[in-house]
Chain A
């Protein structure tokens, strides 16, 4: 079946640094990818929709300048958390829609800890 690879699985960084998370569709093309964020014991919340070759669409309340999304190819989307702060510590997950309607394939997630 379709596989989405997300890297890194875990990152610890100092406050003020930037962190890049990659999401790759390994055996299919994804013109759209979704980025979610999950706080402990809470739902996965959609942050943004990444569109290949065009600007990402951000959900209300998500800072565009804080969470930079680049979808430069049909198999790769990146999320960069700029000038990370402790409140950005969370679990970030990407997904890509498959060919079957309403089916999505998920990466394993990235746990970000900002010290």
Chain B
């Protein structure tokens, strides 16, 4: 079956540091890949997505590239801010399905 593996947290960074959160996946079809973010007390929000190999999703300074050869979708940001502190979930939707398969989430803490 489908699965998503992402690095365990928490990840603690200083403001303006470079961020990478690793995500790899297994899927039987041709999945679309997502990063969702959950701020404290709020629901998950879509951060970015990519629907096919070599696509790059980007939003709010975050980027992730759909790498089919390595089955990865790592999240990166060049300079994090305190306001980026949240839990980040990597997820996929496989061909013919509508429900998401999630990774376990990575908590990011950015210190001033």
Partner-B contacts on A (CB < 8 A): 4, 6, 9, 32, 34, 36, 41-46, 49, 93, 95, 97, 102-109
**Contact partner of A106 among B41, B44, B49, B98, CB < 8 A?**
B44
A43 and B103 contact, CB distance less than 8 A: yes
A44 to B102, CA, bound (A): 6
A41 and B104 contact, CB distance less than 8 A: yes
A83 to B107, CA, bound (A): 33
Interface residues of B in 16-38 (CB under 8 A from A): 32, 34, 36
A104 and B100 contact, CB distance less than 8 A: yes
B102 and A102 contact, CB distance less than 8 A: no
Enumerate chain A residues within 8 angstroms of B4, measured Cβ to Cβ: 43
A78 shortest CB reach to chain B, Å: 17
What is the interface size of chain B, counting residues whose CB is below 8 A from a CB of the partner? 23
Whether, in the assembled complex, B112 has its beta carbon less than 8 Å from a beta carbon of chain A, the answer is no
Q: A interface, by DSSP: helix, strand, loop or mixed?
A: strand
B104 and A93 contact, CB distance less than 8 A: no
Enumerate chain A residues within 8 angstroms of B102, measured Cβ to Cβ: 36, 43-45
**Contact partner of A34 among B8, B46, B99, B105, CB < 8 A?**
B99
B104 and A103 contact, CB distance less than 8 A: no
A44 and B89 contact, CB distance less than 8 A: yes
Whether, in the assembled complex, B69 has its beta carbon less than 8 Å from a beta carbon of chain A, the answer is no
A43 to B8, CA, bound (A): 11
B42 and A108 contact, CB distance less than 8 A: yes
Q: Which of B32, B42, B43, B49 has the most CB of A within 10 A?
A: B43
Contacts A32-B98, A43-B104, A97-B98 given: A106-B93 contact, CB under 8 Å?
Answer: no
